[in-house]
Amino acid sequence: MKSFTAIIASLLIASVSAAPAPVEVEARQVQTTTVSLSNDQTGANAGVAIPVDGTFSNIFSLYGGTAVGASGQVIVSNAQLTNNFQGVTCLIFNNGNLIGTLNDRQTAADLDGNPNGVSPFDLSGGFIACF
């Protein structure tokens, strides 16, 4: 019985000492890209860093306090990728509909749907996701 206890104790001590030491995990930095929304009627525009992690971000929370955000609205007509966009795709949604796609081959999007003119609209309830 003493030998059995000695063997079990030896195995437990060996397994604990062989366990890997805890490793500090570095905080992973999320890559960002810059998306500029603009109102071509007024000339207002604002570039904001958007995380490239696939999360959907509310347009108003990102742009509400910028030059395109005024009196509770974000009035825009187009969007453009302006920084750090190699290999990135951004999707812009309004009322559940995809209204713009930006990537390293197509860096600008006409969001107002009027290719022959400028028709700024409120995108406050929209969302953007980049991945």
| 3-state SS track over 49-77 | EEEECCCCEEHHHHHCCCCCEECCEEEEC
Has residue 13 been placed in a domain? no
Torsion of CA 130, 33, 59, 99, to 10 degrees: -50
Has residue 105 been placed in a domain? yes
Least confident of 8-22, 49-63, 76-90, 101-115: 8-22
Q: What is the pTM of this model?
A: 0.77
Q: Tell me how many domains the chain contains.
A: 1
Has residue 4 been placed in a domain? no
Has residue 100 been placed in a domain? yes
> Is a pLDDT exceeding 50 seen at residue 14?
no
Asked if 53 contacts 128 with a C-beta cutoff of 8 angstroms, the reply is no
Where does the pLDDT of residue 81 fall: very low under 50, low under 70, confident under 90, or very high at 90 and above? very high
Has residue 26 been placed in a domain? no
The domain of 123 spans: 32-130
Tokens of 11: 């195995």
> Is a pLDDT exceeding 60 seen at residue 36?
yes
